[in-house]
Amino acid sequence: MAKPVLKIEGLHVAIDGREIIRGLDLTVQGGEVHAIMGPNGTGKSTLAQALMGHPRYEVTGGSVTLDGEDILSMEVDERARAGLFLAMQYPSEVSGVKTSDFLRAAINARRGEGKEIPILQFIRKLDAAMKALEMPQEMAGRYLNEGFSGGEKKRNEILQMKMLEPRIAILDEIDSGLDIDAIRIVAEGVNSMLSEELGVLMITHYQRLLNYIRPHFVHVMMNGRIVKSGGPELAERLEAEGYDWLKEELGITFEQEDADTTVRQEA
Amino acid sequence: MTVTDFDVRHIHLFQAHQDNASEPTWVREKREAAFRLLDELPWPVFEKMNITDWPWFQFQPFVAGRPVANRDELPQAVQMILKTYNQQAPTVVLENGDLIWEENTAALKDQGVLLVDLKRALIDHEALVQRFLFQGITGDHDRLIALQKNDRLLALSDAFWNGGLFVYVPKGVRVAEPIQLMITAHGDGTGLLPRLIVAIEEDSELTFIEHRLSDEETTTVHNGVSEVFVGAGSRLRFVSVQAFGRKTYDHTRRYGTVGPNARLEWVFGEVGNAQGAALTVSNLVGEGGSADVKMVSIGHGSEHHHFDLRNRHAAPHTESDVLAKGILLGAARHIYHVVTKIEKGARGSNGEQTARLMMLSSEARGDANPILLIDEHDVKADHAASVGYVDESQLYYLMTRGLSRKEAERMLIFGFLEPVISEVPVESVQTYLYEAIERKFMQ
């Protein structure tokens, strides 16, 4: 299979009529890890949710293609079946739905009717993935995210990623609220999947995660645009010096302090 | 519809039945008294749903069932359902109230258990039946939850009841296999008016399953009354599946009388397509008794159904618990009216109830009315109720993993109902409920 390519061109996204993303261009290919950094409220999570197709996020301009296919015209589930994955910052808790049942249904939805994963193969795959993420076996029998700690939820997101084997994975602040051990486990989970068959778009507020998952490209987002791109050294400078030098360099006045946070809570 | 519209033909049929039936005098008198009262008695009140213009009186009474010589002669629909149930369990089929088939019942007789056509039981075991028939019916005159001791639909059953079943378990007998009952109707416009008695004496145990069905395209009026008695220290599980067709009007009454340290567990699977109103009353009359209700319902199309669940604590240290959950599709309407009443003197009692309805369509409508009536200080009581739409953020989350909206809804529905269905004590019934709900959801 050819390398996956996610191509974002001139993307504009609004929430409740207010424009949050204002012309964003980015291409993510298989084998690449991109990190998007930036202060709170600059539209990072909006980008993640808009790419996945959250109904509250209205794309008002631009195009997004995955392997040449227009994903903006697809439903959320079609995007997922095309190979897009979003590890969420705040995954829903779903009472009554067992994690393992859900995973199997999701895998089978991706594979299509008549090509369902044989049950033994599924169990072996699940066991291996859970072991790698140091998740106790009983978690597969628990209801999806219900009563999970913050760290358990993040691991469960990566577990789903391992099971679903996406072509493009968007990781939305998978490090938030995790201690160092948990970050290491989650990062190892992601690293173990890196290959030419997977492109990663990683959204993070802190440089810390980038010590564990090394990006090839670092982008800084402000006011709904990518304002600077570079290699890992850019992230290190941001960690050391903050964002002020960059704002000054680019002559940016900062707006929308809380827009992102508010919407994420509701989503 | 009023009683005066009641076809004059019914009066003749009623009289003819009275002349022909070999019923004991007290039963005949009960019929006649009820018949005379039909015009005067008030309709039963089902809060927020007007059932008085439903065709309760438009039926052909006293239509006999058709006995069969072997299982293969049973109606196809009955055979199909029987196949999903326990093949070794004692099983009885009632058509239009008449016992037309039984199997695996011999071993019960050795234990002294009676599983008899009610009309037959009135001949062979009159004194025993008289201890129970009509004895479990109670009224409650609390100003908030008026439940008359008698009303028009109850009297309609008293006057026109046509067959039924008498189940009796003697003292100290634990029945190993569940007793399975199929209740079915035959003939267009037939009135299905069975009476059911399930009485278990002290220190006994029974699981009883009734499965009620009617043809999808045949007009049927069901008016069924069950009286259930649980003796001291006994445990009765009463599982009832409603799988009536869409042209059936269903009026169901169940009255449970729970003795000291006895336990009555009701399980209701309301997965049929009928229009209906169902009232279930558990009277906790013995110290230390308990009643438990688990119910799932699913409504679609234009189905209207009222479910009235009442637990009345009339003795100290009694407990009740209700867990009811329903799914509403299309323009369906379900009402959960749950009443926990703790009488004065029922100290140390505990009544809990949870009623939740999930709607998947903006045209569906659900109501959950939790009511606690407490006349005693030293008690605990708790209620939780909710009516809401399926959670959009959960749907989104599942869809981001590749599940279609329909599949995601299906997962959420079963996730919502799972805590109730997993408590159903018989696995074959669990399976049946899951499949029936799935079918309705996919329609």
Question: Which chain B residue has its CA at the smallest distance from A78's CA?
Answer: B402
Residues A219 and A36: their CA atoms lie apart, in Å, by: 5
Q: Compare A238 and B364 and report the one with higher pLDDT.
A: B364
What would the two tokens of residue B379 be?
């008690």
The per-residue pLDDT for A259 is: 46
Residue B216 confidence (pLDDT): 93
Report, at the CATH architecture level, how domain A5-98+166-266 is classified.
3-Layer(aba) Sandwich (3.40)
Three-state secondary structure of chain B: CCHHHCCHHHHHHHHHHHHHCCCCHHHHHHHHHHHHHCCCCCCCCCCCCCCCCCCCCCCECCCCCCCCCCHHHCCHHHHHHHHHCCCCCCEEEEECCEEEEEECCHHHHHCCCEEEEHHHHHHHCHHHHHHHCCCCCCCECCCCCCECCCCHHHHHHHHHCCCEEEEEECCCCECCCCEEEEEECCCCCEEECCEEEEEECCCCEEEEEEEEECCCCCCEEEEEEEEEEECCCCEEEEEEEEECCCCEEEEEEEEEEECCCCEEEEEEEECCCCEEEEEEEEEECCCCCEEEEEEEEEECCCCEEEEEEEEEECCCCCEEEEEEEEEECCCCEEEEEEEEEECCCCCCCEEEEEEEEEECCCCCEEEEEEEEEECCCCCEEEEEEEEEECCHHHHHHHHCCCCCHHHHHHHHHHHHHHHHHCCCCCHHHHHHHHHHHHHHHHC
| Angle between the N-to-C axes of helices A150-164 and A119-132, in degrees from 0 to 180, rounded to the nearest 10 | 140
The Cα-based distances of B441 to A170, B77, B214, B329, B434 in angstroms read: 33, 20, 20, 8, 10
Pairing mode of beta strands B114-117, B164-169:
antiparallel
**Residue A80 at interface with chain B, using a CB cutoff of 8 Å:** yes
**pLDDT at residue B19 in the model:** 84
User: Does A267 sit within 8 Å of B407, measured CB to CB?
Assistant: no
Nearest Cα of chain B lies from the Cα of A52 at a distance, in angstroms, of 7
Q: Rounded to an integer, what distance in angstroms lies between the CA atom of residue B65 and that of residue A62?
A: 71
What average pLDDT score do residues B323-338 get? 98
Residue B4: pLDDT band with limits 50, 70, 90: low
Hey, which bits of A114-196 come out as E strands?
168-172
Pairing of strands B350-359, B205-213: unpaired
Each of the 267 residues of chain A gets a pLDDT tens digit; together they read 689 999 999 999 999 999 999 999 999 999 999 999 998 888 999 999 999 999 999 999 999 999 999 999 999 999 999 999 999 999 999 999 999 999 999 999 999 989 999 999 999 999 999 999 999 999 999 999 999 998 999 999 999 999 999 999 999 999 888 889 999 999 999 999 999 999 999 999 888 899 999 999 999 999 999 999 999 999 989 888 888 898 888 888 765 544 444 444 443
- Is B401 in contact with A80 (Cβ distance < 8 A)? yes
CB-CB neighbors (< 8 A) of B438 in chain A: none
Q: Which two tokens stand for residue A122?
A: 């599924």
- What number is the ipTM of this complex? 0.94
Question: In the prediction, which pLDDT does A262 show?
Answer: 42
- The partner residue sitting opposite A96, judged by closest CB among B397, B398, B415, is B415
- Chain A from 235 to 264: CB within 8 A of any B CB: none
Q: Which residues contact B23 (CB under 8 A, 6 or more apart)?
A: B31, B119, B122
Closest chain B residue to A161, measured at CA: B401
% pLDDT > 70, chain B: 96
3-state helix, strand, coil in chain A (%, to 5): 40, 25, 35
pLDDT at B2 over 50: no
- C-alpha distances in angstroms, B437 versus B82, B220, B357, B414, B443? 18, 22, 15, 9, 10
State mean pLDDT over B73-86: 94
Q: Domain locations in chain A?
A: 5-98+166-266
**Residue B139: band (very low, low, confident or very high) from pLDDT cuts 50, 70, 90:** confident
Q: Which residues on neighbouring strands pair with residue B356, listed in sequence order?
A: B325, B386
Interchain contact, B415 vs A110, CB within 8 Å: no
Confidence bin at B150 (pLDDT 50/70/90) = confident
Mean pLDDT, range B126-154, rounded to an integer: 81
Query: Residue B339 — pLDDT band, cuts 50, 70, 90?
Result: very high
| pLDDT at res. B10 | 76
Alpha-carbon torsion (A175, A180, A184, A189), positive or negative? negative
CB contact under 8 A, B404 and A105: no
A91 touching B, CB under 8 A? yes
* Burial status of residue A180 (CB atoms within 10 A of its CB: 0-12, 13-18, 19 or more): exposed
Residue B147 has pLDDT above 70, yes or no: no
Question: What's the pLDDT at B443?
Answer: 86
Please name the amino acid found at residue A118. Answer: P
Substitution target in A66, A94, A265 with the highest count of B β-carbons within 10 Å is A94
Dihedral sign computed on CA atoms, order A243, A248, A249, A254:
positive
pTM of the model as a whole: 0.91
Residues of chain A with C-beta less than 8 angstroms from the C-beta of B423: none
pLDDT band at B132 (very low <50, low <70, confident <90, very high): very high
Q: Which residue did the predictor score with more confidence, B47 or B291?
A: B291
Does the distance separating the beta carbons of B399 and A80 come in below 8 Å?
yes
Check if the beta carbon of residue B241 is closer than 8 Å to that of residue B210.
yes
Chain A nearest CA to B437, separation (Å): 16
